[in-house]
Structure 1
Amino acid sequence: MPRYTIETTYRLPIYRQQTYQAPTLEEACALALDDEDWTGGKEDHETSGATYVTGIWKGETDGSGPSLAIPEQFDEALARKADLFDDLVEVLKEPARVMGLSRDQFAHWLPRALTVLGRADNIVHDATRATPGADAGGGIAESGQ
């Protein structure tokens, strides 16, 4: 049976509370973002992010060899959402361009739209254990929505 070295990560928020004097709320926010002094910053273990895979290698390794592609469902949720955004926009723009899709155009568009929407649904519901090829559309095809 093959062995894999898997590197996982989670994001740990570190926060600080500082008071800034500024003429507007926006300027106070800008001052806070520009402030690089994190002395007294506190780790927020209560709201740490979910664990996700950041590296995969075949066999036992220190991570210095060639890495394997990370299956999408094990990547960081925020990165998955960002990657998916462009796909969603492109697929959803198609019927907006030409609302009078022919039957052939609709038959080509619908499976692609359902696939992309299924990916989005998995990300929204954090389906890190989704079975590849399973109905990821959340019943979209059956409901006709």
Structure 2
Amino acid sequence: MPIYTIETTYHLPVYRQRTYNADSIADACRKAIEDDGWDDAKEDVDTSGETYVSGIWQGADAAYSGPAILIPSQFAETVERKAGHFEILLGLLKLLLADVQAARPSSQEWIARATWAVARGEAIIAGARDPDAPVEGDRP
């Protein structure tokens, strides 16, 4: 039976509460973001993020000592999956909108990619693995 080293991670929110003199809410927010002092920071263990897989290696205690293995999509951090998928959806939307604005039908390839993108979005929401990417020539 194969042995794997799996690295898991979660984000621990660290916060601070400070008062700022500012001309507006936006100015106060900018000052807070630009403030580098964190000596009074507190950890919020009650609202830590999801646990996700951040690394996989073949073998015992093999972290960072060999080539990393591709992490199955359903075990990756959900917010990163969503961010990456947003870029895909935006690109498809722009292409399909260009077809609508030009009063031309969308290609079957782009329709197949859009169908896959919807299925991938649903998989991300469900915490499931990504569907297989469409193969050239696939029809929706």
Structure 2 residue aligned with 1:84:
85
Q: Is the 8 A contact 2:116 2:131 kept in 1?
A: no
CA-CA distance at 1:62 after TM superposition: 3.7
Root-mean-square deviation (CA), in Å?
Answer: 1.9
Unaligned runs of 5+ in 1: 135-145
Q: Distance in 1 between matches of 2:130 and 2:113?
A: 16
Which amino acid in structure 2 is aligned with residue 95 of structure 1?
Answer: L
**Residues 1-145 of structure 1 mapped to structure 2, 5 A cutoff:** 1-63=1-63, 64-99=65-100, 100-101=104-105, 105=107, 107-123=108-124, 125-127=125-127, 130=128, 133=131
CA-CA distance at 1:15 after TM superposition: 0.9
Structure 1 residue aligned with 2:138:
none
Identity, % of aligned positions: 45
How far does the alpha carbon of each residue in 1:39-83 deviate from its partner, in whole angstroms, 9 at most, with x for none? 221111221110111110011124121111112222111211121
Which amino acid in structure 1 is aligned with residue 92 of structure 2?
Answer: V
Q: Is the 8 A contact 1:5 1:61 kept in 2?
A: yes
Q: Distance in 2 between matches of 1:54 and 1:28?
A: 35
Unaligned runs of 5+ in 2: 133-140
Normalised by the length of structure 2, the TM-score is: 0.81
Q: Distance in 2 between matches of 1:2 and 1:39?
A: 45
Q: 1:133 to 1:79 in 2, by over 3 A?
A: closer
Q: Is the 8 A contact 1:77 1:126 kept in 2?
A: no
How far does the alpha carbon of each residue in 1:76-97 deviate from its partner, in whole angstroms, 9 at most, with x for none? 1121112112211122222211
Q: Distance in 2 between matches of 1:43 and 1:72?
A: 29
SS of equivalent to 1:98: helix
Structure 1 window deviating more from structure 2 (11-20 vs 22-31): it is 22-31
Q: 1:70 to 1:45 in 2, by over 3 A?
A: same
Which amino acid in structure 1 is aligned with residue 105 of structure 2?
Answer: L
Structure 2 residue aligned with 1:139:
none
SS of equivalent to 2:36: coil
Q: Is the 8 A contact 2:5 2:58 kept in 1?
A: yes
